[in-house]
Every structure is written in structure tokens, then in C-alpha cells.
Amino acid sequence: MQKYSRVFYLVGFLSMPLFILLLVYGYIKLNEMVSEEIHWGHNKSFAFGQASREGKLILLSVTKSRCEMLQGLECGEGKPDLGTYVLLNYTPREQEFQTLILDDRFVSLKTDPLPQYFLLNSAGEIRHISKQLPSVEEMQKLPKKE
């Protein structure tokens, strides 16, 4: 019996670092998933609600891949100012993108290459369309209501 208890202690002792590594990995993975949903996964109703409350425009960016932390050329590499607008990012793989294609206002999504950027007011009216991320000055000049 004494011989087996040493083996169990040894197995338990050696498996403890593996268990800790699995816990840390799980914590990091869950944290990444949650932060992505909160910060970069704004849905349409949240974006429009926040824009109307704060008097901001909505920057609808339709890109080939999801804008993570606004990095990459398609996302402006830190160029935009989040104090001016609320970001709403769609990719072709999302259901919301399919809904956009059916809307006549976004007909350029069917023919022109991505990325495309639309500045919308809180009523959903398009204020600006471009193939490049609009500058902060352009966004501030546009009327938010009309």
C-alpha cells in the first residue's frame, strides 16, 4: 500500500503544472472571446442606440476580415477617432452582410471590392460613402441629422 501511495503522490504532483496551464489557457481564451464580443462585435441595435444617445455618427465598415482592435490597413491603423463615431463592422461571412446586400442603398457592395465605408446617422441615412476610411475632419463636417 505504501508503494502505491508514493506513485499517486508523484502523479498528482506532476499533473499539477499541466492543470494550471490548462486553467490559464482557458482563462485567456475566454477573455479573448468576451472582449471581442464587447468591443468589436457591436450589433446593429446597440450601435444605433449608442449613436442616438451620444449624438455620434455610425461608421459601418464592410471589410474582408473582422477589424480586430482597428488594426490593419483596412481598419485605418489607428487613424479613426472613436470619439466621433460608433464602429459597426461587417464581413461577408456574417448574416448582417447578407441583409445589407438586399438593401438598395448599399448596392455598391455587390459590385465594388471591399473594404467599403459608410457613415450613417442615427436614423440610418447614409451621409458619406468611400473606399477609404474617412478622415476625422470629414466625419466632423458631416451633419448628424437632417
| Residues 83/57, Cβ–Cβ less than 8 Å | no
| Statement to judge: residues 24 and 54 lie in one domain | no
Total structural domains within the chain: 2
The more confident residue out of 100 and 83 is 100
Are 67 and 23 contained in the same domain? no
3-state secondary structure of 85: strand
The answer for residues whose C-beta is within 8 angstroms of residue 27's C-beta and 6 or more apart is none
Cα distance between residue 80 and residue 78, in whole Å? 6
Q: Tell me if 81 is assigned to some domain.
A: yes
Q: Do 54 and 13 fall within a single domain? A: no
Mean pLDDT of all residues in 25-47: 68
Question: Could you tell me if residue 134 is inside a domain?
Answer: yes
Q: Which three cell numbers stand for residue 110?
A: 455587390
Domain limits for position 26: 1-35
Q: Is residue 117 part of a domain?
A: yes
In a domain, 22, yes or no: yes
Tens digits of residue pLDDT in 104-118: 899 899 889 988 989
Reported as a pLDDT band with limits 50, 70 and 90, residue 71 is: low
Distance, CA of 87 to CA of 66 (rounded, Å): 12
Please check whether residue 146 lies inside any domain of the structure: no
8 and 25, same domain (yes or no): yes
Predicted confidence (pLDDT) per residue in 50-66, tens digit: 888 888 888 888 888 77
Confidence at 40, pLDDT banded by 50, 70, 90: very low
In a domain, 70, yes or no: yes
